[in-house]
């Protein structure tokens, strides 16, 4: 059940198509109840006495507390789960910008609507699997005052999970509220390396810059342990932030890396070694910079592996045959394998319901809510004790949460390579 507090734009399609979509998406379930027949002792309370009173204590009845555990199969692993809630309330707080006025607000509104469209498909699927959820949707207009007003609503205290909002200040505000009322909080888009107040029930599905650099370094250490490493920055805001993250990560990994800031494109012959292979990490999202740099590196005829950002795949007129020769690898926080049957299934049904192709935000919305819904059905309010340090695969996202720096971060990073003219994850 979805309760919308403000009017959302009407989604195209109809209820029949939505139901058909959900039925088709029921190809597999991440969890199922295996057994709940036999009671299991989960806690036995005994009172320890001093040695002289042990005999007296032995004559007294032992107080036991028995609870009937449910055996749950979750992603192929069986868990003994305590009885838990079966009905849930979830708040979704995003900058939908119902009354968007600027181009930026309209663009953000489009992204949030696409995310919500993915959420709706996930909820259809989960509903047919037995999830009983009331979804409350709020528009905070990317405004801290409006967000504060939403959090003051009396109904918010009864939420089982809060999803949102967007922005570091907003997430910190929602996290503080979650700590106060013991409500788990999910930051759907904003990446955080740390928070103002530690919150063991705050979850960030999007890997941070630190997670990406650690993922790259692990990949380089495993696949190219003897290569020299060069980090190249174009000194944009993105590049400068990533450069500092790489410096720190390489120092911690005790791996030598030389950092160059906007080197002359004619100097690559001097920069690259003639005698040993090199890994070049190019920190740029500028198509001209990337294209020119790759061409100059190629002209040196040196043995080079290039690592770049996933945004490169969206450049126009990419020469993937050339990229294959350059051993280009891309770093991504999410990845859609268009050839996978589950992705084809989702895309077909998304088109039926929404009369358009799903964007990356639609995949993210679907994956995040499928994951949340499935672990709520499996573990209820006890889910924080079950999902850490395990990997869960969905359409475009892999979730591998690790608690550090006061929050739970999804540390999964995709390293993609070109093979047979298509991007594939490096296993």
Residue 16 confidence (pLDDT)? 42
Is the pTM higher than 0.95? The answer reads no
Residue where one domain finishes, among candidates 332, 364, 393: 332
- Of 55-59, 218-222, 226-230, least confident by mean pLDDT is 55-59
* Range 76-81, long-range pairs (CB < 8 A, 24+ positions): 77/390, 78/34, 79/378, 79/379, 79/386, 80/40, 80/42, 81/378, 81/379, 81/380, 81/382, 81/386
Share of the chain above pLDDT 90, in %: 57
For residues 93 and 166, membership in a common domain is answered with yes
Share of the chain above pLDDT 70, in %: 83
Residue 34 lies in a domain: no
Distance from C-alpha of 267 to C-alpha of 263, rounded to nearest angstrom? 7
- Pairing type for strands 278-283 and 228-233 reads parallel
For residues 16 and 135, membership in a common domain is answered with yes
Residue where one domain finishes, among candidates 295, 313, 332: 332
Residue 383 lies in a domain: yes
Distance from C-alpha of 426 to C-alpha of 146, rounded to nearest angstrom? 43
For residues 294 and 379, membership in a common domain is answered with no
Residue 269 confidence (pLDDT)? 85
What are the b/e assignments for 168-188, b being 16+ CB within 10 Å?
eebbbbbbbbbbeeebbbbbb
What are the b/e assignments for 194-231, b being 16+ CB within 10 Å?
ebeeebebbbbbbbbbbbbbbbbbebbeeebeebbbbb
For residues 22 and 159, membership in a common domain is answered with yes
Distance from C-alpha of 416 to C-alpha of 425, rounded to nearest angstrom? 4
Q: Is the pLDDT of residue 4 over 80?
A: no
Q: What is the span of the domain harbouring residue 258?
A: 209-332
DSSP structure string for 266-331 = T-HHHHS-SSS-EEEEEE---HHHHHHHHHHHHHTT--EEEEEEGGGGGSTT--HHHHHHTTEEEE
100 and 109 Cβ atoms separated by less than 8 Å? yes
For residues 10 and 147, membership in a common domain is answered with yes
Q: Coil, strand, or helix at residue 343?
A: helix
What are the φ and ψ backbone dihedral angles of 286, each rounded to 5 degrees? -90, 120
| Each residue's pLDDT tens digit, 306-336 | 999 999 998 988 888 888 889 999 999 999 9
Q: Is the pLDDT of residue 253 over 60?
A: yes
Average pLDDT of the chain, as a whole number:
85
Of the candidates 306, 303, 297, 310, the one whose C-alpha atom is nearest the C-alpha of residue 275 is: 303
Residue 31, strand partner residues:
74
Q: Is the pLDDT of residue 39 over 50?
A: no
* CA distance from start to end of the chain: 39
Place 63 in a pLDDT band, splitting at 50, 70 and 90.
Answer: low
Number of domains in the chain: 2
For residues 179 and 164, membership in a common domain is answered with yes
Q: Is the pLDDT of residue 130 over 50?
A: yes
Residue 143 lies in a domain: yes
- Of 49-53, 60-64, 83-87, 277-281, least confident by mean pLDDT is 49-53
Average pLDDT over residues 146-161: 97
| Each residue's pLDDT tens digit, 200-211 | 999 999 998 889
Residue 54 lies in a domain: no
pLDDT greater at residue 58 or residue 86: 86
- The shares of helix, strand and coil residues in the chain, as percent rounded to the nearest 5, are 40, 25, 35
In the DSSP assignment, the letter for residue 385 is G
Residue 68 confidence (pLDDT)? 83
| Each residue's pLDDT tens digit, 233-243 | 988 888 888 98
Average pLDDT over residues 387-408: 93
Residue 34 confidence (pLDDT)? 53
Q: Is the pLDDT of residue 192 over 90?
A: no
What are the φ and ψ backbone dihedral angles of 236, each rounded to 5 degrees? -75, 170
pLDDT greater at residue 282 or residue 1: 282
């Amino acid at each position: 059940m979805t309760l919308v507090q403000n009017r959302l734009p009407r989604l195209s399609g109809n209820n029949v198509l939505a139901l058909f979509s959900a039925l088709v998406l029921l190809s597999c379930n991440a969890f199922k109840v295996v057994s709940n027949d036999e009671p299991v002792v989960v806690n036995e309370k005994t009172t320890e006495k001093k040695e002289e009173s042990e005999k007296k204590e032995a004559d007294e009845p032992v107080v036991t507390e028995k609870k009937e555990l449910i055996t749950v199969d979750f992603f192929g692993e069986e868990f003994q789960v305590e009885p838990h809630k079966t009905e849930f309330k979830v708040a979704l707080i995003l900058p939908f910008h119902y009354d968007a006025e600027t181009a930026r607000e309209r663009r953000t509104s489009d992204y949030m609507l696409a995310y919500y469209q993915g959420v709706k498909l996930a909820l259809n699927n989960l509903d047919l699997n037995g999830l009983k959820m009331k979804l409350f949707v709020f528009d905070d207009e990317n405004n801290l005052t409006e967000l504060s007003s939403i959090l003051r609503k009396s109904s918010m205290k009864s939420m089982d999970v809060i999803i949102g909002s967007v922005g570091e200040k907003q997430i910190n505000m929602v996290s503080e509220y979650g700590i106060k009322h013991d409500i788990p909080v999910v930051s759907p888009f904003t990446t955080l390396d740390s928070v103002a107040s530690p919150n063991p029930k705050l979850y960030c599905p999007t890997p941070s810059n630190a997670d990406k650099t650690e993922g790259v370094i692990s990949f380089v250490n495993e696949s190219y342990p003897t290569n020299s490493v060069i980090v190249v920055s174009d000194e944009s805001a993105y590049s400068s932030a990533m450069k500092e993250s790489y410096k720190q990560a390489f120092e911690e990994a005790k791996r030598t890396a030389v950092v160059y800031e906007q080197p002359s494109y004619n100097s690559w012959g001097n920069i690259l070694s003639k005698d040993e292979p090199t890994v070049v990490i190019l920190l740029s999202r500028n198509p001209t910079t990337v294209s020119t740099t790759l061409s100059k590196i190629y002209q040196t005829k040196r043995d080079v592996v290039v690592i770049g950002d996933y945004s490169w795949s969206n450049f126009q007129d990419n020469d993937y045959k050339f990229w294959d020769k350059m051993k280009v690898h891309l770093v991504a926080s999410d990845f859609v394998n268009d050839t996978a049957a589950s992705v084809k299934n989702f895309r077909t049904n998304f088109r039926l319901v929404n009369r358009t192709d799903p964007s990356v935000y639609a995949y993210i919305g679907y994956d995040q809510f499928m994951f949340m819904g499935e672990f709520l059905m499996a573990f209820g309010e006890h889910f924080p004790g079950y999902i850490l340090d395990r990997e869960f695969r969905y359409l475009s996202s892999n979730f591998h949460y690790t608690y550090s720096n006061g929050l739970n971060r999804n540390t999964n990073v995709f390293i993609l390579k070109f093979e047979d003219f298509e991007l594939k994850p490096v296993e």
